[in-house]
């Protein structure tokens, strides 16, 4: 009897151990191949969105064009997604690979008719304009911000399921359909709400459950050395009393837009004191740029990692003359300028990230994540940032052609193009100063997103608006059922710059740094010691001089 009992215990332990490993490493079991056909570089925005959505389910994805199919080992993948952003005749070897693939396949938009075997249940019949979409699963209907072109589908296969319908002027048409392990989306643009719907469908595509539940987060935005300390302290005390963890997006340097004179944290000791209080009582510091401005704009208003005037990456110092392709006599000369500019951008970003973290740490403020000002940053910028931060907060710029192309999914994700960074998305916006409908709009979005899997219902708030408006936001968010507040300190984050390494996990922050990690810290420490020791020493010398002089006079 004892042997049987012991055997049962061993088997139970082994099963639970295997289940634990499978649960913790499920995203590593998915090896995903994303293939695209596109007309021009502007179409890469759609590929980036698909990358962002897939990044919630796997850390192992490969992205190639349809011309590069021979560059990959086709036996390495468990899932395939193809997005056709151009009507073209596909290579027979690509068609055969997808037709014969023994795993889930998700096709998007053009060229479906070339897959005559696996997708024989799909028949196309022209195109139409869709103005809203409706999920069959939860009945949620959402208007599109603009009419979108969709392929008209017909299917007579009784095993085909319609997952999403699109509303046209004359009725409804299938937009997303599925049979067995094959999925087809008949619309080109993945911008929301389509992206959100595709993201939800990917849970079935990857055979994943809603494992993480609902996550709430609040980010206090644009805190810099000229922030009104009184309002910030009131907010900090309120959030402490409410036992709500939150994030504080700190800009270490304020730059006067007229004089360009800089004000650092060392010039704002009261602010530093409040930030430390926040850090000790539920707040987590994130670095929100270094100056949050580039040319002559004010800190908090300007861009820092994107030249918004030229709508391009940072290519030169703000005081230098802006050059375009028309200023060069040859293609080679312009190419050399672009290469030099990319090096400038890399050094510029590297310098600001190092300085920002070093200055924060000097004041015992420990950033755990990064957020680009106005969510604007080039693809090269994300690559540089990923060398220093493992966590990114907010939304993502998905084009190198314009900053007016940001995107965020409803769940956290680690897309290919973030080079290892994990995105914690902001999803329901903020309270604009003079927008009376802002809160209602946030609540409306929260209500729509409430039924999505692993959803983030997340917002940011500017402390200069004061405590009362924030209370309204918190009260609304607190009514969302079965949701948990994000505590960034309890997550595994790592920040590393020259002379400083910060690691957080399970609520603790560990800092490993050189004695003087930067010139800023050295100068600040020397000045502080001069104040600490210099003034008392001066007083002592003066007292001794007075005593000596009085004694000398008495001796006369």
Distance CA 203, CA 107 (A): 16
Pair (238, 184) in one structural domain = no
- What are the C-alpha distances in Å from 73 to residues 36, 66, 140, 144? 17, 14, 40, 39
**Residue 264 falls in which region: left (phi positive, over 0), alpha (psi -120 to 50) or beta:** beta
pLDDT at 487: 97
Domain of 192: which CATH number? 3.40.50.880
Distance CA 331, CA 338 (A): 11
Q: For residue range 66-88, what is the model confidence (pLDDT) as tens digits? A: 999 989 888 899 999 999 999 99
> What is the pTM assigned to this prediction?
0.88
pLDDT at 433: 84
Identify the domain boundary among 182, 206, 230.
206
Q: For residue range 350-387, what is the model confidence (pLDDT) as tens digits? A: 999 999 999 999 999 999 999 999 999 999 999 999 99
pLDDT at 555: 64
Beta-strand pair 246-250/214-223: parallel
Pair (451, 534) in one structural domain = no
Place of tokens 């208007």: 143
> Cα-flanking dihedrals φ and ψ of residue 28, to 5°?
-80, -15
The residue segments making up the domain with residue 527 are 519-555
Tokens linked to 213: 């539940």
pLDDT at 556: 59
Distance CA 418, CA 443 (A): 30
pLDDT above 90 (res 9): no
Identify the domain boundary among 206, 239, 264.
206
The mean per-residue pLDDT over the stretch 487-502 comes to: 96
pLDDT above 80 (res 32): yes
Residues 6+ apart with CB under 8 A from 304: 289, 290, 291, 292, 293, 294, 352, 372, 373
> Cα-flanking dihedrals φ and ψ of residue 505, to 5°?
-175, 135
Q: What is the largest CA-CA distance in the chain?
A: 121
Identify the domain boundary among 206, 224, 258.
206
Evaluate whether residue 151 is within a structural domain.
yes
CA atoms within 13 A on the CB side of 321: 3
Helices (H), 211-294: 229-241, 269-280
Domain of 505: which CATH number? 3.20.20.370
Where residue 532 falls among pLDDT bands split at 50, 70, 90?
low
Pair (317, 352) in one structural domain = yes
Pair (269, 294) in one structural domain = yes
Residues 6+ apart with CB under 8 A from 394: 219, 371, 372, 375, 408, 424, 425, 426, 460
Q: Where are the extended beta strands (E) located within 451-547?
A: 456-461, 483-485, 493-497, 500-505, 508-513
Note if the bond before 193 is cis, omega within 30 degrees: yes
Of the two residues 186 and 522, the one the predictor is more confident about is: 186
Evaluate whether residue 50 is within a structural domain.
yes
Pair (220, 290) in one structural domain = yes
Quote the number of domains for the chain: 3
Lowest mean pLDDT among 231-240, 270-279, 448-457: 448-457
């Amino acid at each position: 009897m004892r042997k049987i009992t012991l055997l049962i215990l061993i088997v139970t332990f082994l099963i639970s151990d295997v289940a634990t490993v499978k649960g913790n490493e499920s995203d590593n079991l998915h090896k995903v191949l994303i293939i695209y056909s596109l007309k021009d570089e502007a179409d890469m925005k759609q590929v980036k969105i698909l990358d962002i959505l897939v990044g919630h389910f796997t850390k192992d994805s490969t992205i190639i064009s349809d011309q590069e199919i021979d560059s990959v080992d086709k036996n390495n993948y468990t899932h395939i997604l193809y997005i056709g952003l151009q009507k073209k005749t596909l290579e027979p070897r690509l068609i055969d690979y997808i037709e014969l693939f023994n795993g889930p396949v998700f096709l998007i938009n053009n060229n479906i008719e070339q897959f005559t075997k696996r997708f024989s249940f799909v028949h196309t019949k022209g195109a139409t304009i869709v103005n809203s979409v409706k999920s069959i699963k939860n009945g949620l209907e959402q208007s599109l911000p603009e009419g979108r072109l969709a392929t008209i589908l017909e299917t007579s296969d009784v095993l085909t399921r319609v997952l999403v319908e699109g509303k046209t002027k004359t009725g409804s048409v299938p937009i997303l359909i599925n049979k067995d392990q094959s999925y087809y989306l008949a619309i080109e643009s993945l911008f929301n709400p389509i992206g959100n719907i595709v993201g939800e469908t990917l849970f079935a595509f990857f055979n994943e459950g809603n494992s993480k539940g609902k996550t709430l987060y609040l980010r206090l935005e644009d805190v810099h050395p000229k922030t009104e300390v009184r309002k910030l302290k009131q907010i900090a005390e309120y959030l402490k009393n409410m036992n709500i963890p939150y994030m504080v997006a700190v800009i270490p340097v304020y730059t006067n837009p007229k004089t360009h004179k800089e004000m650092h944290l060392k010039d704002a000791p009261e602010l530093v004191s409040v930030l430390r209080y926040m850090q000790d009582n539920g707040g987590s510091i994130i670095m929100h740029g270094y100056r949050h401005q580039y040319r002559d704009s004010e800190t908090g208003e300007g861009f820092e990692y994107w030249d918004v005037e030229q709508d391009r990456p940072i290519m030169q110092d703000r005081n230098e003359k802006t050059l375009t392709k028309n200023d060069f006599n040859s293609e080679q000369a312009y190419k050399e300028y672009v290469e030099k500019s990319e090096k400038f951008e890399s050094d510029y970003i590297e310098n600001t990230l190092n300085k920002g973290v070093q200055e924060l740490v000097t004041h015992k403020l420990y950033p755990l994540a990064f957020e680009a000002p106005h969510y604007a940053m080039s693809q090269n910028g994300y690559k540089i940032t990923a060398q220093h931060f493992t966590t990114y907060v907010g939304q993502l710029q998905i084009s190198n052609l314009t900053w007016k192309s940001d995107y965020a999914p409803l769940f956290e994700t680690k897309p290919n193009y973030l080079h290892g960074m994990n995105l914690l998305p902001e999803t329901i916006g903020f309270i604009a100063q003079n927008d009376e409908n802002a809160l209602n709009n946030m609540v409306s979005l929260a209500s729509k997103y409430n039924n999505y899997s692993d959803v983030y219902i997340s917002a940011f708030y500017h402390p200069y608006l004061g405590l009362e408006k924030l209370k309204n936001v918190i009260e609304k968010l607190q009514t969302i059922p079965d949701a948990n507040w994000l505590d960034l300190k309890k997550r595994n984050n790592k920040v590393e710059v020259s002379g400083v390494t910060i690691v957080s996990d399970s609520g603790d922050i560990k800092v490993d740094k050189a004695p003087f990690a930067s010139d800023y810290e050295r100068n600040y420490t020397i000045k502080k010691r001069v104040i600490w020791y210099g003034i008392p020493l001066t007083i002592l010398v003066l007292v001794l001089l007075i005593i000596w002089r009085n004694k000398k006079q008495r001796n006369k």
